[in-house]
Amino acid sequence: MPPKYEPSLIRIAKSDGSSTEPETLDLGERVRALRKARNWTLEQAAKEAGLARSTLSKIENGQMSPTFDAVKKLAEGLNISVPQLFTPPRGDQILGRMDVTRNGQGKPHTTATYEHELLGAGLRSKQMIPYRARIRARSFDEFDGWVRHDGEEFLYVLSGIITFFTEFYEPIEMRRGDSAYYDASMGHNVVSSGQEDAVVLWVTSLAD
């Protein structure tokens, strides 16, 4: 028989580093709050999780302890991890924002060296800026000096070959599947070094 989950015990840390006694997290209330944050009906949430509506209703109302398989389905349906399912929110408000960008439907932004396609442009006050870029530049000289900005950045090569120039390191040739994570305040530029324009995924964090 698959193991069953009982309400999880969460130890809440105080600001001085000490902690309170463990408190019980009501899984049913947690699931209901996550569902309502997404404006889902019981039927919608049950469909996303691959569970019967009656099963989800009993879980939310504390009438049954879900099996391990049901817990995994719940987490997958809510698009969170199992640990997140058992972690209480840090504040009173539960966020359930989402923005889907279909292939080729991102917000375009073209420069002399890059053709950017902004992803997730429908959400405001994001903590990350994801975008796909076609690298048109073929030489470092096409840039007006280094690109620098606040935050951190993740670069992933989707196709083609690039040369990744940085202020403090030797240039690096990168191909499909290669990635780099770096401080964006360090000067950086990217050029296509193959016959075709390279395409990369960039994710930029926003400084606090």
* CB 162 within 8 Å of CB 189: no
pLDDT of 123 reads 79
Domains of the chain, CATH where assigned: 9-85 (1.10.260.40), 107-205 (2.60.120.10)
pLDDT confidence of 88, banded at 50, 70, 90? low
Please give the pLDDT value at position 1.
45
Task: Give the pair of three-digit tokens for residue 150.
Answer: 């606040």
- pTM score, two decimals? 0.58
Q: What is the 3-state secondary structure (H, E, C) of the chain?
A: CCCECCCCEECCECCCCCECCCEECCHHHHHHHHHHHCCCCHHHHHHHHCCCHHHHHHHHCCCCCCEHHHHHHHHHHCCCCHHHHCCCCCCCCCCCCCCCCCCCCCEEEECCCEEEEECCCCCCCCCEEEEEEEECCCCHHHCCCCECCCCEEEEEEEECEEEEEECCCCCEEEECCCEEEEECCCCEEEEECCCCCEEEEEEEECCC
Cα end-to-end distance, the chain, whole Å = 48
For 5-53, what is each residue's pLDDT tens digit? 444 443 434 444 444 444 456 888 889 888 887 888 899 999 999 999 9
Is the pLDDT at 3 greater than 60? The verdict is no
pLDDT at residue 172, rounded to an integer: 97
77 pLDDT higher than 60: yes
Lowest mean pLDDT among 63-77, 152-166, 192-206: 63-77
Q: How far apart are CA 60 and CA 56, in angstroms?
A: 6
Query: Mind listing the pLDDT tens digit for each residue in 123-179?
Result: 777 888 999 999 999 999 999 899 998 889 999 999 999 999 999 999 999 999 999
Segment 97-119, tens digit of pLDDT: 788 999 999 999 988 899 999 99
pLDDT value of residue 92: 56
Q: Cα dihedral sign for 57, 75, 152, 122?
A: negative
